[in-house]
Amino acid sequence: MKPVHLSLASSNSGKLREYRELAGNSPVQFKLIPNFRDIPAFEEAASTFAENSAGKALHYSQFTPELVVTDDSGLVVPALGGAPGVHSARYAGPGASDANRVEKLLHEMRGKAGDDRRARFICVVTLARNGRALAIVSNFVEGRVTLEPRGNNGFGYDPIFLLPGLGRTFAEASPQEKNHYSHRGIAFRRLLEMLLSPSDSLTLS
């Protein structure tokens, strides 16, 4: 099979690295959209991950002839009314770092124990070209919010998301372990199957 070139609509180098690891030795090759920061930004104002993911894909795919992949993902904590949710990347305000967001979430979780520390990572991945969505896939993984950050791998909320089946946070897990269990890993593997399997349901041209 010929290589499938996908442009990731993101400036997040950690996310690009993760997608490249997920693609592995497959014919799928990832890069960031050139001059991404110069493209008019898409306002992620929708109330669901699916709407934000699809909206970003439709928007950014108008600025390149290549296949575009976007995702919207985040951490949902029922005890906080679903926060940070679709605001996960902006939870601590504009310009905040991953550490700032983690610190704010742990502050909001103070005093909560047991089931109140349940959390869910959600990811919706969209594939688009020329302003048209070709595929939308999603998945989630259940876990718990730890009392403090643990581990140095990953990015975002990985240091405080404990996966019970793994017994470690995503930041303590190896890249291979995280890719196997993670919300983004499972969602992308579904998309990869569609990309690599001959099907009338997904036309890339």
Catalytic annotation on 72? yes
Q: Is 98 exposed, middle or buried (0-12, 13-18, 19+ CB in 10 A)?
A: middle
Q: Is 133 exposed, middle or buried (0-12, 13-18, 19+ CB in 10 A)?
A: middle
Catalytically annotated residue among 38, 72, 158, 200: 72
Rounded to whole angstroms, how far apart are CA atoms 138 and 17?
Answer: 20
Rounded to whole angstroms, how far apart are CA atoms 201 and 159?
Answer: 38
Question: Among 16, 142, 129, which Cα is nearest to 76's?
Answer: 142
Q: Under 8 Å CB-to-CB from 96, ≥6 apart: which residues?
A: 90, 104
- Give the residue numbers marked as catalytic: 72
